[in-house]
Structure 1
């Protein structure tokens, strides 16, 4: 990714049906291992796009490229209408504040309580808030994920499902317009996975978020997706709704739904 200074002007919030993410001909290699070989995808405002694919197909790499956590070899990545591959770090940070990223392990600070984890994130990006405003926002977002009672707990006291919810609360506290979910239900039992999937839908409805959801969990994919894409051999091999792909004539595509 180039770091050359540009005069990119960030676009305002997109209107309904306008794309908030557009990827064109994205290539990414690691040495001789070509992972992405021309990925093209679009996410519309308010849409939940699920990306499926076998392990190592480049799903997580794709979303890391979207927020500039990983450089690309070639291609275009437009977020809110601006090409992030032409941005410097200052411009990238303005985009990143509008994007939430839920990591697989929730990435909480183990030495901080839930209150401190959320407050630390909020105060880094909203330095003018009073202590009372910070506290109110922490309580509001914990209520949104159904964990108001966990405010003084340490991460070590939380179950896997609770850690996911707190990780999601920390993502939501900055009111992102886009959320990138990396395996949100991995390692959870069936009931807790269903609860997290329900929460993803509640967040989409309440906060009008647009999301990319990386998952191997077909129950999560069915429950949360407006549209699915399947990565194979470095490109988008198939695209459609859950029902459309489940009935695909392509035997390899159907194998995901067995």
Structure 2
């Protein structure tokens, strides 16, 4: 069996320099708990950005702010030239329609088959599709994650890795401009985690979506991220390629890689 280093080549660097997502001096606190303390970073179109950080560092709150589920206290979040912090709920919903989510546990509807799970998401985003168009989109999404045969299965019949794949198919079926991966390899064995990493990389090449990958898994970070930021206490402690960060002289950053 090939090692992950042999099986996955390093990610390509997108030649586009224009920022697609930008956080500008973003603050967020819950009472006295200051979760984000003026973070600023950009993501280029087609880039995979990995956000690393221990529990409570602000990773999940940053993503909630990005999709408008949490309002920032101060700062701007720009998506494709539009400051989403100024949008009303209708405007936010328009932005959310462009975002695909892979949740940590797959978050499938247990009472629906795989086909029904995917159809529900697609029809929620695009009510104008006819039955044949929906079926074709479902089969394409399942083909992209290698699970065409699971179309009529119930979530309870799927392994953890299969649930992640179906969750990813559901994210892809809307042809998103942005994909958010929440702990994509969390709770998986080494071989299944490697398969998910390979899927993330192949999806980057096929869809050229702009992706944010929240993870604790350094292997996932290394092989899926074009760039990595590490959050500590709501601020960016390190930013750069995996190699840049791994070779940091900062004691705290070095300790992160010695877990």
Q: Structure 1 length normalisation: TM-score?
A: 0.92
Give the match's secondary structure for 2:169: helix
Give the match's secondary structure for 2:60: helix
1:182 Cα deviation (Å)?
1.0
CA displacement, residues 137-193 of structure 1 (integer Å, 9 cap, x when unaligned) = 100110000100100000111111111111111110000011111111111111111
Report the Cα distance in structure 2 between the residues aligned to 1:82 and 1:23, rounded to whole angstroms.
12
Give the match's secondary structure for 2:117: helix
Report the Cα distance in structure 2 between the residues aligned to 1:125 and 1:91, rounded to whole angstroms.
14
1:16 Cα deviation (Å)?
2.8
The reply to whether residue 197 of structure 1 matches residue 175 of structure 2 is: no
1:198 Cα deviation (Å)?
0.7
Q: Structure 2 length normalisation: TM-score?
A: 0.92
Is the 8 Å Cα contact of residues 113 and 152 (structure 2) preserved in structure 1? yes
Q: How does 1:45-194 map to 2 (within 5 A)?
A: 45-194=45-194
Report the Cα distance in structure 1 between the residues aligned to 2:223 and 2:139, rounded to whole angstroms.
28
Report the Cα distance in structure 2 between the residues aligned to 1:71 and 1:187, rounded to whole angstroms.
30
RMSD: 1.1
- Indicate the residue corresponding to 1:37 in structure 2: 37
Report the Cα distance in structure 1 between the residues aligned to 2:166 and 2:81, rounded to whole angstroms.
30
* Structure 1 runs, 4 residues or longer, greater than 4 Å off: none
Give the match's secondary structure for 2:184: coil
Gaps of 5+ in 1: 1-14
- Indicate the residue corresponding to 1:247 in structure 2: 247
Report the Cα distance in structure 2 between the residues aligned to 1:215 and 1:161, rounded to whole angstroms.
16
Is the 8 Å Cα contact of residues 102 and 181 (structure 2) preserved in structure 1? yes
1:31 Cα deviation (Å)?
1.4
Give the match's secondary structure for 1:21: strand
- Indicate the residue corresponding to 2:11 in structure 1: none
Is the 8 Å Cα contact of residues 48 and 210 (structure 2) preserved in structure 1? yes
- Mean alpha-carbon deviation: is it higher for 16-25 or for 193-202? 16-25
The reply to whether residue 20 of structure 1 matches residue 27 of structure 2 is: no
Give the match's secondary structure for 2:192: helix
1:17 Cα deviation (Å)?
2.2
